[in-house]
């Protein structure tokens, strides 16, 4: 049973949890930071943020049982938003791992891989403001309602979704080192590569939209 519009920010001991919770509060949501799997399962909405290593994060998520809790809520139709590393983890596999290991298995909710940005002549990590270019799917996405095409948002990452991620789920693309999917959407599951909590007015609008998605599901008969 969902808990009265409460959005859980999942604490898997990786990253900027309080800034995400503050951003949600500013957007008018009731947010709680917790690592408790029962609280995650009872949430009206779930945000999986994070900055750090794919391998380390998946190690904690599996050891704590958060993997099953997260899959349960996503499969139950609970609105879910993955941010940066939280986006990466919902895919099948990531290449950010220890020497001698080629891939680390992710949650596998969506098919596709996460790979390192090829630096070339550009600096990696990709840090700072950059544009999101909405796809046709993105223009229909409730997370981006009122967000203009080409909006500037804040990135900080060295890995991104690879070319094997299906075009049907991609809502936005960004061009840095390569063209990569910077946002995805399938049913109740949303994910963004950038940090809406650090993205000024555009980011606040995205968090507000997510809070609205959660509220709408709560009042739906």
Residues labelled as active-site residues = 84, 195, 197
User: Do 128 and 172 form a contact (C-beta atoms < 8 A)?
Assistant: no
Instruction: Report the distance separating Cα 102 and Cα 121, nearest Å.
Output: 25
Q: Residue 73 corresponds to which tokens in the numbers above?
A: 């809520």
H or E element, residue 64? helix 54-64
Sorted by sequence, the CB contacts under 8 Å of residue 64 that are 6+ apart come out as 12, 35, 37
* Distance (Å) of CA 16 to CA 79, 84, 197: 20, 11, 9
Longest dimension (CA), the chain: 54
Q: Give helix 66-75 / helix 54-64 axis angle, nearest 10°.
A: 90
Sheet holding 91-94, edge to edge: 104-105, 91-94, 110-116, 159-161
């Amino acid at each position: 049973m969902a808990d009265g519009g409460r959005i859980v920010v999942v604490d898997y001991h990786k990253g900027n949890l309080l800034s995400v919770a503050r951003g949600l509060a500013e957007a008018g949501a009731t947010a709680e930071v917790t690592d408790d799997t029962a609280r995650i399962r009872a949430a009206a909405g779930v945000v999986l943020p994070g900055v750090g290593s794919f391998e380390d994060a998946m190690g904690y998520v599996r050891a704590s049982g958060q993997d099953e809790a997260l899959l349960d809520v996503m499969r139950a139709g609970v609105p879910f938003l993955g941010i940066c590393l939280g986006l990466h983890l919902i895919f099948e596999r990531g290449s950010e791992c220890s020497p001698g290991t080629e891939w680390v298995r992710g949650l596998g909710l969506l098919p596709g891989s996460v790979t390192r940005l090829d630096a070339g002549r550009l600096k990696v990590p990709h840090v700072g403001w950059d544009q999101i270019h909405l796809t046709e799917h993105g223009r229909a996405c409730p997370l981006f309602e009122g967000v203009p095409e080409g909006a500037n948002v804040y990135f900080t990452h060295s890995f991104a979704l690879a070319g094997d991620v299906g075009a049907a789920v991609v809502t936005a693309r960004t061009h840095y080192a390569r063209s990569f999917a910077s946002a995805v959407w399938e049913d109740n599951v949303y994910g963004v590569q950038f940090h809406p909590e650090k993205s000024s007015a555009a980011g606040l609008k995205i968090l507000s939209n997510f809070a609205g998605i959660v509220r709408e599901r709560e009042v739906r008969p």
